[in-house]
Amino acid sequence: MNYIFGSASGIGNSLYKLYKKNGSNVFGFDVNESPETDKIIDLRDLKNISEIIEIINKEKVESITYCAGTQDSKNITNLFNVNVLSFIEIINNSIENFEETVVCAVSSVHSVASNDKNIEYASTKASLESAVKTFSTAKTNSYFYFLRLGATDTNLLRENVEDLDKLVNALPSGKLFKAEDVSKLIFDINTKHKSLFNGGHLQIDQGVLSKLSTE
């Protein structure tokens, strides 16, 4: 089974559809209802993790892709619970059952360069990347990596960028990455190249990180 967290929209939604299209078993978790949400779950409450683990441990885990995320800096507990602590708890409580499992966590360029208005969110993504690197050192036959993204057209980006046109115009290509294209990359890694990526990461940022580092 391939498990996706954040399956109702964006990259997670596109990835869910891609697994389905290729005849793979897939199961989606999200706080929002959608055709690609098999289980509505709220990752802001860590008490829900036991219910997730019960579902995951019923079948052989082919992959886990963690696309869940929030930028709600007004509630730092919710921010950390959704962006990193739920991920850690899920993996900690299922890793013993992994067999050639690949785990991908979607991170952000803000994990390594951000601004004072985004410090809480940036801290959660830095913590998420650290967790993935640590899990990759476990003596298992499974694989852990993260995708560090910037300038990808998702609901989270649109909800949290004040001037989207300014961002797009600043990009060398003049356009955002499509969630569908990013999901294709994750799918290819998870199904064809997972053994190359344990402990590694990919950065796809359209030059955004360089701008964040110099502004």
Q: How confident is the model at residue 205 (pLDDT cuts 50, 70, 90)?
A: confident
pLDDT in tens, 88-113: 999 999 999 999 999 999 998 888 87
The whole-angstrom distance between residue 8's C-alpha and the CA centroid of its chain comes to: 13
**pTM for the predicted model, two decimal places:** 0.90
* Residue-wise burial string across 153-190, b where 16 or more C-beta atoms lie within 10 A, e elsewhere: bbebbeeeeeeeeebbeebeeeebbebeebbebbbebb
Give the Cα-Cα-Cα angle 63, 184, 95 (nearest 5 degrees): 15
Distance CA 5, CA 189 (A): 17
pLDDT in tens, 140-166: 999 999 999 877 666 665 555 566 666
Type of residue numbered 38: D
pLDDT in tens, 9-55: 999 999 999 999 999 999 999 999 999 999 999 999 999 999 999 99
| Mean predicted confidence (pLDDT) in 176-188 | 89
Work out the mean pLDDT of the chain and round it to a whole number: 89
- For residue 214, pLDDT over 80 is answered with no
Give residue 163's pLDDT: 62
Q: Identify which of 9-13, 114-118, 167-171 has the greatest average pLDDT.
A: 9-13
- For residue 206, pLDDT over 80 is answered with no
Query: Which tops the pLDDT comparison, 204 or 68?
Result: 68
Q: What whole-number percentage of the chain has pLDDT above 90?
A: 70
Give residue 42's pLDDT: 97
